[in-house]
Chain A
């Protein structure tokens, strides 16, 4: 086998495969996505920071792509796990394998991803390692190493992916500030289509945000645990921002808004990752793109000004919140797609109406 490799899980299970992309090892949280398209968007989505992403669909990398579809500068995952990475992809551009190689990220193929998904579904997400050829027989040592390692979501992941300086303005319209916790390019595209948009680091203070004279705030998606200590400045700013401005929270942003209003978040067993998630909003059902490992604890919402406005039809978890002031709205899913449907972009328009009404 070319470039033999191993995927080792913290419970000791191992899967033999072969390494593609960059031949190296990687440690991360093993999560799975059920989306059948958009591998390059997923790989470059900052919300996957620190993770070993398993694709349940067995044929990945079927087409070549250009930088247009990337959601950030490069891969955010630490590695990917697939059944088969296409060796002769269709179309023009870069192949997934070359892309990973260039960015020094390993992939492992030849893995029975269905079994792996079933494992993660029942046992929950776990630590895992991609181990390249020469070290395959060091499984025991690596297992002990892994035991000592921090869970990925305990790391300050948002700090790694957030912008380091203010950027913008992009687009035109009422002025919006995006608090970047690991924003996808598609979110910036969708917001800047409707607003004059600035992007600021996640730890920007309330005053600094205010000094930009925004008419509204967008809190982006991003990786990891919203209650991580690294997010405290964000929460502090958000408490004030929610009082003074219309706020739209997306994914991690949704969780941060909830935390800032006194609710709690919790880690989901294996998260929601895919582009086929049904959400009920009022009388209608929408298919949404999702990528999150944490959720908002519904019980903890009592006593806060937040109400559940949307729910997952799969497990009835909270998918959207609305502040009693009517100016703060959130979605747990990604209306911006990338990958995934754009069925819920009306959320932006609704948000824009709120902003314009308030002005």
Chain B
């Protein structure tokens, strides 16, 4: 089918900021969609509020909007750009929901805009629970059996009909899952059905067959408009139903299905996609009974997804790219298979390796969060590994998690009692896989482990095999070493068992979509101990770029963005760009992005093996975040390694707080007074000398507690009580500069000249982690002299650290004095933001500078003009119970949005809106602020009052406001036991904004956290700093009085 000539301009909607459940996979899919559409000569307009995406680069899309992702913004883009069609399936649930909304509001029909890919009927039939059920039943496909009933007696009969407990009870027509749950016995049934009937608006409950603990499988399907339909990959979840697939360890292809079962699910998947009329990519989930082998259709995602990104990387088949071509009207047999270049996209990949995916959870950062995993996602990212055996892939995946544990090491789980191990198997957290290893090590029978955790015995036997071999190695048994190496154990792990790393060999094999049946051209490799090396030499000099690994709090998509630029630019410069990374969601692991892609763990040994094979001309470690920086430290002194850019010695210097302090002082620059302590007593003494408040910075943040601000001796003692501080693990104690303005500066240098890319002022006062802080560019409150002083210090630091490439500095400014807080001679989180605000691609220029270009070769004129750019962070508080939403020196955000406005207020309005704050236009504001903030609250309160908002305040705040002539209603703290209290006000919908600055800005649970929790759960905007409140009031004013305007970047 020829491309439709009426399709001239299309809109690709991205997925917005990185949140739990939506990570880098949609940058990958959106970027592929943009490229695929432009290849067909279509003009691509892109909307994404996330600046740290490759898709929002102007090389990828023709026109880029970094704007809030709401229906009104899309409408305005449709009108302004005369859009002909919108891709609905490339930006996750965000884009899909937006398209549904636009369709319901008839924006699409009014402006003659087509949905590209699945149409609205297909989307609705997939997304609406009831419609979906009906469609499945109509098509003869099995879904979980379910019946409605109106009495307890009936429900008992239905339980019998379903074959007994457990059953799932759902209350009809209630919100939020009241009266729903898995029921395991008569008593429980009585209770749940009782409350369910009572809370149901129509006195009805649904008794449903429970498919908890059934095996879970996924199929990735692609279908074109002619009805051609293929399966790209089958995937088997190790963790059974009841654990979200994003939280499961997943193996591809499915291992334990017979061909009959596989064909049964495959045919059903094809039938489902056909029934729903999906065009493009679709993910279908099935549950299979472990014994009877009956199956049920669980759900579908009518779009590209995290699973499709995984399937793309697992097979080499570019699902998003093909889905985009299909959305433009092409048929599967009209699209070339870019890997073989001979065959077409209409085929099903065959694998000759095993793929294992393990999620990466943020609980090393959130020690107080509830670590149990279940039906809701909590992981922030994932890692994937490829091996010739399940064992090899599993070991590599475990190493890729970067938890500090190698292969079968289980960390603290090794110390657990047997009972805790059993409990972990039964009610899993992020540590289930370690509990499995530990249980096997303690000789728990496989059958018992299977019973507790529901993993198929096939996998447990394989894990047992690994444990047995590692034990044999530890005991020095004959032949064990050779077997261990063959299985894929890292020599470094073996060294931890035996004290000596054995010599080993590794080769790299190709991912080719066809199991070697045809010759392939993809430079996509994985390391294995089995077989023959297949890497193709090109004769060009290679640059090895160390990627960022799985997405974590503090290590987000920004670094992948920088790695991608480094790779593209290195190629542009005539080098081979060699990427090593293990994150299947990312653009950097797209097979055609680099000259050679190694899908490998990022441990020292795994990287050195690649260095041995590639003998690269140089290694770039400044783009892949902390992971790559650690790699630089680990391999920087190896003879084959030539770290390009800033010298290793500067990296070491900047990373050592004590040495760095001396260095800064020697330059004649100021730092907040600090002392280093190596024992608890010493720490208390130092604290006395420096006087409170203090910032505590442990020099090695691995697993333990991170930075914290303490305001008094009691807090200091409590901190020391829970932190291992020792001779080798020092603690830097630093005077906390309260009321200082913090500033981030990003620069690029060619070794002699330096260009200051941007100075970003933090909205929150110093003490809030720069990854969480709201930032504005250019600075809004700094004087010209202060800016000049920041620039002077920046240039001095840059030349003294001999920076070549990127560097980031953090300063605190107070009363005209500038203090150096940190220097990071590497790409920072804000590089994409600054690049997009100014139009100057910093990471690209940095790569060129590293490769020998001079800065004066580039056009370094900023395009920001009179405009203001704001960055707002987004947080996972709703998904992670137990994490307090107060901001502090420990980073908590998962992602960020950017906005550009003509004024600061407009940029702030757009930024908050884009970050998901529902900025109110009326209602009441609940205020409770600490004494130190009261003075500054006055202008905020009076502005809100003048905008027509009512004010509720707790005693201290209320009295202060009244004294200053601002009317405020009294609200009570929970402990006061009087009405109205904060929670009652919020729940009743009386409050539309909460300003709560707790007395102490640090992470632990205390008074007020309950109130903040309710704010998070009810979606009421919450600000926890007074400067944040000030900006939010400005934004609210703009929302009421201003008229936002679209900005093309």
Q: State yes or no: do A and B come from one complex.
A: yes
Chain A residues at the B interface, C-beta cutoff of 8 Å: 32, 34-38, 40-41, 56-59, 62-63, 65, 69, 83-84, 86-91, 112-115, 117-118, 121, 274-278, 280, 283-285, 287, 313-314, 337-343
Q: Contacts A63-B256, A340-B263: A114 and B517 contacting too (C-beta < 8 A)?
A: no
Partner of A57, one of B231, B263, B352: B352
* Pair B518/A341 contact, Cβ less than 8 Å: no
Q: Contacts A36-B350, A117-B352: A56 and B515 contacting too (C-beta < 8 A)?
A: yes
Bound-state CA distance A274–B352 (Å) is: 13
* A-B contacts, 12 listed (Cβ < 8 Å): A37-B259, A63-B256, A63-B257, A83-B530, A88-B457, A88-B461, A114-B531, A278-B346, A283-B226, A314-B342, A314-B518, A342-B263
**A91 CB, nearest partner CB in chain B, Å:** 7
B649 at the interface (CB under 8 A from A): no
Bound-state CA distance A56–B518 (Å) is: 12
**B462 contacts across to A, CB distance below 8 A:** 88
Q: Contacts A34-B514, A117-B352, A313-B333: A58 and B389 contacting too (C-beta < 8 A)?
A: yes
B contacts with A, residue count (CB < 8 A): 51
* Pair B258/A280 contact, Cβ less than 8 Å: no
Bound-state CA distance A120–B381 (Å) is: 40
Bound-state CA distance A40–B257 (Å) is: 12
**A87 contacts across to B, CB distance below 8 A:** 461
Bound-state CA distance A306–B859 (Å) is: 68
The listed residue with most A CB atoms (<10 A of its CB), out of B253, B266, B517, B519, is B517
Chain B positions 511-551 with a Cβ under 8 Å from a chain A Cβ:
514-519, 530-532
Bound-state CA distance A283–B516 (Å) is: 28
* Pair B350/A113 contact, Cβ less than 8 Å: no
B270 at the interface (CB under 8 A from A): yes
Bound-state CA distance A38–B261 (Å) is: 10
**A63 contacts across to B, CB distance below 8 A:** 256-258, 458
* Pair A84/B228 contact, Cβ less than 8 Å: no
Partner of B259, one of A58, A340, A343: A340
* Pair A115/B532 contact, Cβ less than 8 Å: yes
* Pair A37/B346 contact, Cβ less than 8 Å: no
B784 at the interface (CB under 8 A from A): no
B924 at the interface (CB under 8 A from A): no
* Pair A341/B530 contact, Cβ less than 8 Å: no
**A46 CB, nearest partner CB in chain B, Å:** 17
* Pair A59/B456 contact, Cβ less than 8 Å: no
**A342 contacts across to B, CB distance below 8 A:** 263, 267
Bound-state CA distance A54–B817 (Å) is: 74
**B516 contacts across to A, CB distance below 8 A:** 56, 114, 117-118, 121
**B255 contacts across to A, CB distance below 8 A:** 59, 62, 90
**B354 contacts across to A, CB distance below 8 A:** 58-59
**A322 CB, nearest partner CB in chain B, Å:** 20
* Pair B227/A284 contact, Cβ less than 8 Å: yes
* Pair B333/A56 contact, Cβ less than 8 Å: no
Partner of A90, one of B256, B342, B344, B347: B256
B390 at the interface (CB under 8 A from A): yes
* Pair A88/B458 contact, Cβ less than 8 Å: yes
**B292 CB, nearest partner CB in chain A, Å:** 12
Q: Contacts A87-B461, A115-B531, A117-B515: A313 and B256 contacting too (C-beta < 8 A)?
A: no
Bound-state CA distance A342–B263 (Å) is: 7
B736-767 contact mask (Cβ, 8 Å, vs A): 1 or 0:
00000000000000000000000000000000
Chain B residues at the A interface, C-beta cutoff of 8 Å: 226-228, 230-231, 253-260, 262-263, 266-267, 270, 331-333, 342-344, 346-354, 388-390, 456-458, 461-462, 509, 514-519, 530-532
Bound-state CA distance A265–B809 (Å) is: 73
**B230 contacts across to A, CB distance below 8 A:** 278, 285, 287
* Pair B509/A274 contact, Cβ less than 8 Å: no
**A91 contacts across to B, CB distance below 8 A:** 256, 258
**B514 contacts across to A, CB distance below 8 A:** 34
Partner of A121, one of B228, B332, B388, B518: B518
Q: A114-B531, A278-B344, A338-B259 are in contact. List 12 more A-B contacts (CB 8 A).
A: A37-B258, A37-B263, A56-B350, A56-B352, A56-B515, A62-B458, A69-B258, A83-B389, A84-B389, A89-B458, A275-B348, A285-B331
* Pair A276/B349 contact, Cβ less than 8 Å: yes
**B517 contacts across to A, CB distance below 8 A:** 32, 34, 56, 117, 121, 274
* Pair A35/B388 contact, Cβ less than 8 Å: no
Partner of A276, one of B347, B456, B531, B532: B347
Bound-state CA distance A191–B706 (Å) is: 69
* Pair B228/A285 contact, Cβ less than 8 Å: yes
* Pair A38/B226 contact, Cβ less than 8 Å: no
**A338 contacts across to B, CB distance below 8 A:** 259
Bound-state CA distance A339–B259 (Å) is: 6
Bound-state CA distance A91–B457 (Å) is: 9
Closest to A83 in B: B388
Bound-state CA distance A337–B257 (Å) is: 16
* Pair B509/A114 contact, Cβ less than 8 Å: yes
**A358 CB, nearest partner CB in chain B, Å:** 29
Q: Contacts A114-B516, A284-B226: A313 and B346 contacting too (C-beta < 8 A)?
A: yes
Partner of B352, one of A86, A114, A277, A278: A114
Partner of B353, one of A58, A65, A118: A58
**A41 contacts across to B, CB distance below 8 A:** 259
**A117 CB, nearest partner CB in chain B, Å:** 4
**A36 contacts across to B, CB distance below 8 A:** 253, 350-351
Closest to A279 in B: B346
* Pair B458/A86 contact, Cβ less than 8 Å: yes
**A280 contacts across to B, CB distance below 8 A:** 333
**B87 CB, nearest partner CB in chain A, Å:** 23
**B93 CB, nearest partner CB in chain A, Å:** 30
**B258 contacts across to A, CB distance below 8 A:** 37-38, 40, 63, 65, 69, 91
* Pair A90/B457 contact, Cβ less than 8 Å: yes
* Pair B388/A58 contact, Cβ less than 8 Å: yes
**A28 CB, nearest partner CB in chain B, Å:** 20
**A191 CB, nearest partner CB in chain B, Å:** 18
Closest to A36 in B: B253
Bound-state CA distance A114–B516 (Å) is: 7
Bound-state CA distance A333–B258 (Å) is: 21
Bound-state CA distance A63–B459 (Å) is: 11
Bound-state CA distance A113–B388 (Å) is: 10
* Pair A90/B267 contact, Cβ less than 8 Å: no
Bound-state CA distance A65–B532 (Å) is: 33
Bound-state CA distance A108–B457 (Å) is: 24
Bound-state CA distance A35–B253 (Å) is: 11
* Pair A112/B344 contact, Cβ less than 8 Å: no
**A194 CB, nearest partner CB in chain B, Å:** 18
Bound-state CA distance A313–B461 (Å) is: 40
Closest to B464 in A: A88
**A133 CB, nearest partner CB in chain B, Å:** 17
**A121 contacts across to B, CB distance below 8 A:** 516-519
Bound-state CA distance A337–B458 (Å) is: 26
The listed residue with most B CB atoms (<10 A of its CB), out of A37, A69, A338, is A37
* Pair A313/B347 contact, Cβ less than 8 Å: yes
Q: Contacts A36-B253, A278-B346: A90 and B518 contacting too (C-beta < 8 A)?
A: no
* Pair A59/B461 contact, Cβ less than 8 Å: no
**A138 CB, nearest partner CB in chain B, Å:** 26
Q: Contacts A283-B226, A284-B228: A278 and B353 contacting too (C-beta < 8 A)?
A: no
Closest to A286 in B: B228
Bound-state CA distance A283–B255 (Å) is: 34
Bound-state CA distance A341–B268 (Å) is: 11
Partner of B458, one of A37, A90, A118: A90
Q: Contacts A37-B262, A278-B333: A57 and B515 contacting too (C-beta < 8 A)?
A: yes
Bound-state CA distance A18–B83 (Å) is: 63
Bound-state CA distance A339–B264 (Å) is: 12
Bound-state CA distance A112–B531 (Å) is: 6
**B519 contacts across to A, CB distance below 8 A:** 121
Bound-state CA distance A57–B257 (Å) is: 14
Bound-state CA distance A239–B128 (Å) is: 57
Bound-state CA distance A40–B260 (Å) is: 11
* Pair B347/A341 contact, Cβ less than 8 Å: no
**A189 CB, nearest partner CB in chain B, Å:** 12
